[in-house]
Amino acid sequence: MKWNLTSGVAVIVGVATVAGFFYLTRMRGGPEETPPTPAVAAQAPAPPAEPAIRYPVPPETEAVPQPLPPLDKSDKAVNDALVDYFGRQSVQQLFGLDSIIRHIVVTVDNLPRETIATRLLPTRPVRGAFLVKKSADGLAIAPSNSARYLPYVELARRTNAAQVARIYAGFYPLFQKAYEELGYPKAYFNDRVVAVIDHMLAAPEPEGPVRLTQPHILYKFADPALENASAGHKIMVRMGRDNEAVVKAKLRELRAELTRHAPARQ
């Protein structure tokens, strides 16, 4: 059974937007070997005991297959819905289509951390080489580098946040199951989603050129604060300020939808 036409964009594009949804490229200066892939997820502090669920998933849902497919067998329905909406060529260019719900969940969980397991991201690599501008002042991210992210940014721009929240709610049991499998049997995935959105919204917005150094093969941020930032914050900086503004605007919309049913805090 296929989902309705809008399910593909709502579930995958919407939640992938939360996940950062831009391939975490190392800032490479040459075709050297790839660094080792980090672990899927690091240990995290246990969530607060009270309240057990801080941000309940919105109860409103749109048409979704009932009963839900098992998590291990959900890829075909996801793939079919994406192809129905975007067309086969776009899907093949932008998305990784194996274990996509699990990959979204692990990416969400890892964005505030130091590294992301790139092999587990829900999208395909950003195309083209990392672009650097050389001048008398040294190295900096080239302004043209931001164009590499435009296909993903446009996908985010077109996402309807209210619809995303409704479809996400319909499929929430699969996301929750994947989160529990990741090592959080007593935590609530939507609480983690909201926390990660807040983290991404706090990403820095550097004025002027983003300076780099190249001590070896990989480029590094010249600013120690940026170099020591989380994986999610580095993604935001690399994509350029205009793209970052679009993504942050969409994240604010989505956060509002995902927190509408939170209990009033005393």
pLDDT in tens, 197-236: 999 999 999 988 999 999 988 899 999 999 999 999 999 9
Q: What is the pTM of this model?
A: 0.80
List, as own/partner pairs, every contact residues 139-143 make where C-beta atoms lie below 8 angstroms and the sequence separation is at least 24, other chains included.
139/211, 139/212, 139/213, 139/214, 139/219, 139/222, 140/209, 140/210, 140/211, 140/212, 141/209, 141/210, 141/212, 141/237, 141/238, 141/240, 143/240
Where exactly are the structural domains of the chain? 7-29+52-258
Q: What is the model's pLDDT at position 37?
A: 42
Task: Return the pLDDT at 3.
Answer: 34
pLDDT of residue 81: 63
In the prediction, which pLDDT does 159 show? 78
pLDDT at position 266, please?
Answer: 45
The parts of the chain modelled with pLDDT lower than 50 are 1-26, 30-43, 47-48, 50-51, 266
pLDDT in tens, 12-50: 444 444 444 443 344 555 433 334 444 444 445 554 454
SS (H, E, C) 149-198: HHHHHHHHHCCCHHHHHHHHHHCHHHHHHHHHHCCCCCCCHHHHHHHHHH
